[in-house]
Amino acid sequence: MSISDFRADLGDIPVEDHPRIVQQRSRDHYWYSPILKAKLDHVTAEIVVSPRSNAEVKTVLAAAFRHGIAITPRGAGTGNYGQAMPLSGGAMLNLMNMDKVLEIKPDRVRAQAGAVLEQMDHQTREAVNGELRFHPSTYRMASIGGFIAGGSGGVGSVRWGGLRNIGSILGVKVITCEENPRELDLVGEDILKVAHAYGTNGIIVEAEMPLTQAHDWVDMIVGFDDFIEACRFGGAVALQDGLLVKEVAPCAAPIPQDYFNRHKPYIRDGQSVVLLMVAPVAVDAMTLFVAHHKGEMLYRSDEASAEELKRLPPVYELAWNHTTLRALKVDPTITYLQTRYPTVAHVEKIISILGDELPMHIEVGRQDGVVMYGGLPLVRYTTEERLEQIIRIHEENGCHVFNPHRYTLEEGGMKRTDQKQLDFKREADPKGMLNPGKMIAWDDPDFDFNAGRVWLFDGLNPVNAA
């Protein structure tokens, strides 16, 4: 195994080997977790390779196969679990040079893996007045390939569910890591072989995504004196088919006061808030709905001055894991969890046990037609042992935890061994060169993460998943 021999086979494909730059490109937002920070701080690749075309990706993967060089694919590096960190060194495969929107139709868009989501929406709005159904809070930076490989949902999931729901991704082109790499076009159920697989079993180079009608979304912040009332309001909004919304996120006090620095002047002490993105056509109806639920309209972007709009971040950059980022900027001891609460009563139960040790942040979404309460609560971190206790408290009270302090597929977001993804890795990456160390079932054939799991959905059928 020789990185110099591997590099010699790449021709004029751009390669970066400056240690500081390579280390920077070997990072994602793993440091949100003090546990991952301790485990992964030393991780770095040896070089960064930046192909510009599918043909160049094939050249890289053929050379990796030939010389036994580990390949870790990377988009914008906005993930949070070490998905894009090279545990085995080798080469980072930077796909951000492949950033073109390839085709726009009235109901869909096809783009290269490195296309940034915000830029895709700019082009689809201009062409067909369309936009992506949902996106992460890192919308301005994240790439479509990285979102599919490492994400699960985001802003828009209150209406459209998650990435692994059937119809959320229309197709992907994947390149295999073999002696003679192949381009495979996956559609339908086959998409699930590589969606949220961290690039462990094929390199996503293109994706085709459905569009929905674009709107000039109005940001709203609604205040409540009681957080559980804020949660009930958020759930009620998600049930209103006539209220066209893209984001519903209740955040408990003192999150808004302590961490939403630029929006502080709009929020009273002790208030919990619900962050909303509302279509213009639904603004008047939402205003009535807020009054009906005795909420206080604290901020509306359609009533803000030009100076305010320039100064204030969009609401989606207060939500999802941007909430954690804003907290970390104020208090670096903060970390977070990813949870799912079946009902508001479950949220209330956890708060009654953990109180201010777990400042609560909920993302209201829909999954298979059912309103769900996804948690991204902050954690006032003390020790790893206490964090494990907090996880057990959730599980003992019927709440699911998707552990963001683990970097493997099975221990984190997937919460299971995905047999189809494992089988596809055997076919597409027979030497195990792609993102090694992230799929336990590949390294340990006897590993079984399925026994005794709760039921979730993978977009087609219920699976024994968490």
pLDDT tens sequence across 314-345:
999 999 999 999 999 999 999 999 999 999 99
Least confident segment among 1-5, 81-85, 362-366: 1-5
Q: Answer whether residue 455 shows pLDDT above 60.
A: no
What integer pLDDT is reported at residue 214 of this predicted model?
98
Q: What residues contact 162, with CB distance under 8 A and at least 6 apart?
A: 152, 153, 168, 365, 367, 459
Least confident segment among 111-125, 160-174, 261-275, 444-458: 444-458
- Decide which of 382 and 450 is more confident: 382
Task: Give the pLDDT confidence of 150-191 residue by residue, as tens digits.
Answer: 999 999 999 999 999 999 999 999 999 999 999 999 999 999
Q: Answer whether residue 421 shows pLDDT above 90.
A: yes
Q: Torsion angle of alpha carbons 69, 72, 76, 82, nearest 10°? A: -140
Least confident segment among 61-75, 134-148, 358-372, 437-451: 437-451
What integer pLDDT is reported at residue 183 of this predicted model?
98
What integer pLDDT is reported at residue 411 of this predicted model?
85
What integer pLDDT is reported at residue 445 of this predicted model?
75
Please measure the distance between the N-terminal and C-terminal CA atoms of the chain and give it in whole angstroms: 38
- pTM of the predicted model as reported, rounded to 2 decimal places: 0.94
The closest of 461, 460, 456, 465 to 168, measured between CA atoms, is 460
What integer pLDDT is reported at residue 416 of this predicted model?
67
What integer pLDDT is reported at residue 450 of this predicted model?
55
Q: 455-460: long-range contacts (C-beta < 8 A, 24 or more apart)?
A: 456/400, 456/415, 457/165, 457/367, 457/368, 458/164, 458/192, 459/162, 459/164, 459/165, 459/166, 459/168, 459/192, 460/166, 460/189, 460/192
What integer pLDDT is reported at residue 457 of this predicted model?
36
What integer pLDDT is reported at residue 451 of this predicted model?
38
Mean residue pLDDT of the chain comes to 94
Percentage of residues in the chain with pLDDT exceeding 90?
90
What integer pLDDT is reported at residue 452 of this predicted model?
36
What integer pLDDT is reported at residue 413 of this predicted model?
61
What integer pLDDT is reported at residue 415 of this predicted model?
58
What integer pLDDT is reported at residue 463 of this predicted model?
37
Q: Output the furthest CA–CA distance in the chain (Å, rounded).
A: 69
Q: Exposed, middle or buried, 152 (CB in 10 Å: 0-12/13-18/19+)? A: middle
What integer pLDDT is reported at residue 203 of this predicted model?
98
What integer pLDDT is reported at residue 454 of this predicted model?
35
What integer pLDDT is reported at residue 1 of this predicted model?
66
Predicted confidence band of residue 368 (pLDDT cuts 50, 70, 90): confident
Predicted confidence band of residue 449 (pLDDT cuts 50, 70, 90): low
3-state secondary structure of 231: helix
Task: Give the pLDDT confidence of 249-298 residue by residue, as tens digits.
Answer: 999 999 999 999 999 999 999 999 999 999 999 999 999 999 999 999 99
What integer pLDDT is reported at residue 367 of this predicted model?
87
Q: Which of 123-127, 407-411, 417-421 has the highest average model confidence (pLDDT)?
A: 123-127
CB crowding 35-64: b at 16 or more within 10 Å, else e: bbeebbeebbbbbbbbbbebebbbbbbbbb
Mean pLDDT computed over 287-312: 97
